[in-house]
Structure 1
């Protein structure tokens, strides 16, 4: 594709059109199609990112189906671009942005409404929600990191555990879960990881969990009793259901349970411990703290599979299958790659 270069705010050369995977209506995977659309406009407080890698989250399928329609208080407009997580390089900045320069390696968390997501060559995000990418973390991993890592971090902040206290991470081989295991271990917390499948157990063990149990196959309540005979201090839950509810009975009444909004099925009964429902904090302060962990070498997202942008339909089909960690899209660009 050849388009005429244009001078963007901040002095970078970009283009008026970009490749993107779009929805013209909500529905199944067949509604995802690739075509050229305008590059997003850059406001005074914005950063335009040339996207190299975008995350594919389980929530993307729900959003594709229209389940988020109206959830942001704004009517959806089409063409609609999915994608909440990305990493790439700064292509342009708004006049009020001083923290970033053209060419900086960055990652970001956004919401596709109202200005479009990251299944595209360019995405625009308020500077507050953009972070410099530490050199030690490959961009291939950073693209799927932001929302899950920040959600895991926010849950641990709510639980406020001291070193040596016990935490059960339920769903420890999934996106939020495998990042929560690493962040909790960095804080000195003892982690019981409830993972899924042999590959999930192996991942949790590799990430340093103190004990690992297969939630599909093993006796989770028995494992919790063995790990913490006097009861768990806390739990971070990334998947609900009967097994989850039985396992949460092991959390002390004085303990806490962190439950990210959007985790289903919802609790059918109330556990003895208090449940805190929450959203991830994606502010600059939060990404600064996450970057400190990355810089310490204590954190690395696991990517199960990467798809080219043109195979976004296949990526969404893969969301239905068993996998551990995260899925990503590699965004092709005729401008080269950093």
Structure 2
């Protein structure tokens, strides 16, 4: 199969196109013919070697990146039920262990594979899984009732713009802190009750007006000085959800409790996510989609300003 591989960790120029063997399909696996894969900021971190050894598994080369994908079922392991060859699916994986989705085919345990909801385009599904499930996990952790106030910091990014939609689906009042005028427009279009531009607006003043007694919670999807300062708007009895991997961490802890967490990518979580997608107007905003052969351009674009997600067209 055709794939984008690394023969060593490093810069963008280490990405190379090559034919490699199809991955082996185990008894509990699904082989996916990849149509679209997500291109995310953590792909660049991984490309540079910062995850080497982080998951207790030695890195082997050629190394294939790609944590998110959507396509069709190509083959099923002998123990796998509930899927049919040819149906649309999306999946989350960890490339360190078995290779990722920057390839024509990817193999994943069936537990981490889900049908693409009928109303969701495959292109959007390919860039969705880890971000949407991280957003969903953060909201689950916060456990806010209808009418509660939530600040989504980084509301125009991958996790953030999905969190805005999932929070609104729960009836939570959302103050979105977005990046740039285009980010503000996106967050507002997706249903945020109030939106501020984190690059130039006074977030604390906006939060005070939005929730005079203090915000009930915050979901932080981008770290830094502005994020840390903005968390002062969360009441001391409130809660802050902070996905692992969002950096930099706060230098000075806020008065509210910070809970660090990982997204849940199991079948139970994807079933819940799919139910929300089918019952709402949920969308994955794609800033740009690159042909797989232009993967270097996609990785360069990760350093540019964009809103939503970047994707690769594989199949």
Aligned to 1:256: 239
The aligned counterpart of 1:167 is 150
Aligned to 1:52: 35
Decide whether the 8 Å contact of 1:183 with 1:298 is kept in 2.
no
Match of 1:295 in 2: 278
- Is 1:112–2:116 an aligned residue pair? no
Matched residue SS, 1:249: helix
Q: 1:272 aligns with which of 255, 258, 275?
A: 255
The separation in 1 between residues aligned to 2:258 and 2:120, in whole angstroms, is 33
Q: Which residue of the partner structure matches residue 184 of structure 1? A: 167
| C-alpha contact 1:90 1:104 (8 A) present in aligned 2 | yes
Checking the alignment, whether the CA contact within 8 Å between 2:150 and 2:217 is kept in structure 1 is yes
How far apart in 2 are the matches of 1:169 and 1:178? 9
- Aligned partner of 1:93 in structure 2 is 76
Structure 1 unmatched runs, 5+: 1-17, 333-338
Indicate the structure (1 or 2) with the bigger Cα radius of gyration: 1
2:158 & 2:97 partners in 1: Cα distance? 25
Mapped partners of 1:207, 1:251: distance in 2: 23
Partner of 2:213: 230
Q: Kindly state the Cα deviation for residue 191 of structure 1 after the two structures are TM-superposed.
A: 0.1
TM-score (norm 2): 0.99
- Aligned length in residues: 315
CA RMSD between the two structures: 0.5
Q: Which residue of 1 aligns with 2:44?
A: 61
- Corresponding position: 1:29 with 2:7: no
**Residue matched to 1:78:** 61
Deviation at 1:98, TM superposition (A): 0.6
Normalising by structure 1, report the TM-score: 0.93
Q: Distance in 2 between matches of 1:101 and 1:26?
A: 37
2:196 equivalent to 1:213: yes
Structure 1 runs (4+) greater than 4 angstroms displaced: none
Preserved CA contact (<8 Å) 1:186 1:298: no
Counterparts of 2:270 and 2:13, CA distance in 1: 35
Paired residue for 2:307?
324
Partner of 1:114, secondary structure, is: helix
- Residue 136 of structure 1, CA deviation: 0.3
Deviations 1:22-74 (A, max 9, x none): 00000000000011000100000000000000000100000000000001101
Residue 177 of structure 2 is aligned with which of 175, 191, 194?
194
Offset, 1:240: 1.0
What SS does structure 2 have at the residue aligned with 1:155?
helix
Helix, strand or coil: the match of 2:20? strand
Contact preservation (8 Å) 2:127, 2:311: yes
Cα offset for 1:297? 2.5
The alignment partner of 2:205 has SS state of helix
Equivalent residue number for residue 122 of structure 1: 105
Answer yes or no: is the 8 Å Cα contact 1:44–1:97 preserved in 2: yes
Which one of 312, 315, 325 corresponds to residue 298 of structure 2?
315
- CA distance in structure 2 between the aligned counterparts of 1:83 and 1:54, rounded to whole angstroms: 7
1:76-132 per-residue CA deviation (whole Å, 9 max, x = no partner) reads: 000000000000000000000011110110000101011100000000000000001
Aligned mates of 1:36, 1:271 — CA distance in 2: 50
- Residue 8 of structure 1 is matched in structure 2 by none
| Alpha-carbon displacement from aligned partner over 1:248-299 (angstroms, at most 9, x marks no partner) | 0110111100000000111101111110000000010000000001101231
Unaligned runs of 5+ in 2: none
